[in-house]
Chain A
Amino acid sequence: MSDSLATVRSVANRRSRRNSSAGRQPGRDGAAGTRKRTFTAAAYTVMALVVVLTIYPMIWMVFGAFKSTGEFYTNIWGWPHDFSWSNLSQAWDQAGLGRKFLNSIIVTGGTLLLVIPFCSMAGYSFAKIWYPGRRWLYYFVLLGIMIPFGVTAIPTLTVTLQFHVFDTLQGLILVYTAQNISFGTFLMYAFFSSIPDELIEAAQADGCSRFSAFWKIVMPLARPGLATLLIFIGTSIWNEYFMASVLIHQNSLETLPLGLVVFTTQHSTDYPELFAALTIVTAPMVAVYLVAQRQFISGLTAGALKG
């Protein structure tokens, strides 16, 4: 976290330095100044347009959730006049959203509980422990990044059948964990690589065992990496639909994205209620994002920016 904040801050400093140096040079002529002003005006216009295009559909969704069925078809893009709060509670009950929230929390939490220690250990093994065959194992695990999981979904289904975890939350957790091992391991590998070997050697000289040097000395230093891992994998699993739709078939085990799709296809008449369901499902995500947007933006773009 602190690392990403520092990055943001240093970018901001660099930017302000650049702006001040640009400010010292007076505009070369009037035409250039005019062009610059036109450019700025264009930028604001485009910005406003993009904001409307991005935000308005969501506002429309929230408005729709509060409209009565009659108003829904007549007042299409405006503010709801007679707020019908009952849409929200009906949608919650009809779609069984409580259960689905719980399932999503179990699956996301369970996967993170496995992915984070497994990937940290594997990344540490690649970065800081010297043994033969390490490079080959590294490339073998790297392979997983290049496999599009959509392609292996059907054989994965047969494998879960074979291990008797088909149509269970445990099965979904195991598959999600496996599919995120490659990414997580490389992320943690990158973080551990930047930690000096001397630190681990010193810890071991002071009597730390191999494992406690990793767990007590190195892991606390890798917190920015863990935060990125948590945000990236957490978000993608919370939103995952495809594997869930292949592996989960019982109504009571549906995760939120899956439940939402099933609900919208089954009750495709009472639109205000469907809008309410969609609003309820997106609200927590928006809230978490607004609170920690910096971490989310840097977490989700981290891989690219670190390259």
Chain B
Amino acid sequence: MTAVRDNILAGMARAPARAWRRRPGPSQRHRTYLFGLAMIAPALTIYVVFVIYPLIRGAIVSLYQWNGLTPTTTWMGLRNYTNALQDPIFLLALRNTFQYAIGVTIAKNVLGLGLALLLNQKLRFRAFFRTAAFLPVMFAFVVVGVLWSWIYNPLFGLADHVLAFVGIHNPPGWLSDPKLALWSVMWVDVWKWTGFHMVLFLAALQAVPQELYDAADIDGARTWARLRHVTIPTIRPVIALSVLLSLTGAFVANYDVVYVMTGGGPLNSTQVALTYIVQTTFTGDQVGYANAMSMILLVLVAIVGAVQLRFMVGRQEPARV
């Protein structure tokens, strides 16, 4: 879903021009209007019914107590929201969500950029490397999650075996230690996506004009100065984009991997907002409550996205790679 979000930026950069810039005759204009609406009608209808309407409905349902099946509902007002903000598991889940999102964002981008900088030179096998590093991006998160939960398995897992090979014979409980489990799951996310970010950065690096480096050389810039004053500022829009993609993605795309690997356990230590919301929905009378938590998450994601956009892209012209 990542590339979906990068188009926020692309889309915003070039909104359609105002209508009536050119004015055909009146009857023509009428027909054009109808044609334009007819062309957009199918997309708009299905979008309104299955995206916008659920969103509105979710907001309404969040004000009631409801079991999701029978028509009887009880008005709750904002009590679902106040309850959510006092629910220790929900607060823990939010804390975990933030840790997850921020942690994987830093890791993916630092690793991705580091690899890209290292590889942005004439190297053999680079094409092969790119193919290999991008491979995990192709896999479903559940596939990756299942595979890594086996790698972490204490009986036959690869992780403990590698540790034993280098002489560590008391391996940690990757997924069973509440202090470690969330980090183990986050690593899987980093493993899957770093290749994607590396490819983005590599493409950006290759588009930095050689003239800039030549000019820096004339000014006597060393490697570090070149990096700081030429490379990083030039590819900054792509860095912003990449950070934004991973941050907003990590807030909501973590359900699959967490659910498959730990189901939120042990002791809720890997519970993220979405796993808790889904779990709540299917337990008893709590559909309204789950919707209220969804709305809180939606607002948080929107705030983070807006802050991100402002801080990193706001002062910058749109990305051109």
Contact = CB atoms under 8 A, between A and B. Distances in A.
Contacts of B68: 157-158
A129 B142 contact: no
A221 to B, nearest CB: 17
B174 interface: no
Q: Is the interface of A mostly helix, strand, loop or mixed?
A: helix
Given A50-B115, A156-B50, A304-B3, A285 B206 contact: no
Contact of B46 (A56, A118, A285): A118
Given A54-B195, A131-B36, A175 B50 contact: yes
Interface of A: 11, 14-15, 17-19, 21, 35, 39-40, 42-44, 46-47, 50-51, 53-58, 60-61, 64, 72-73, 76-77, 114, 117-119, 121-122, 124-127, 129-135, 137-139, 141-159, 163, 174-175, 177-179, 181-183, 185-187, 189-190, 193, 210-211, 214, 232, 235-236, 238-242, 245-246, 256-257, 260-261, 264, 271, 274-275, 278, 281-282, 285-286, 289-290, 293, 296-297, 300-307
Interface string B51-64: 11111011001000
Given A18-B210, A54-B135, A11 B43 contact: no
Contact of B141 (A138, A189, A190, A239): A239
Nearest to B145: A261
Q: Is the interface of B mostly helix, strand, loop or mixed?
A: helix
B136 interface: yes
B8 to A, nearest CB: 5
Nearest to B1: A236
Contact of A211 (B35, B42, B148, B156): B35
Interface centre among B21, B44, B115, by most chain A C-beta atoms within 10 angstroms, is: B44
A259 to B, nearest CB: 10
A159 B54 contact: yes
Contacts of A157: 68, 281
Nearest to B4: A183
A242 to B, nearest CB: 5
A8 to B, nearest CB: 10
Interface centre among B10, B40, B242, B274, by most chain A C-beta atoms within 10 angstroms, is: B40
A46 B118 contact: yes
Nearest to A156: B54
Contacts of B290: 154
Contacts of B50: 156, 159, 174-175, 177-179
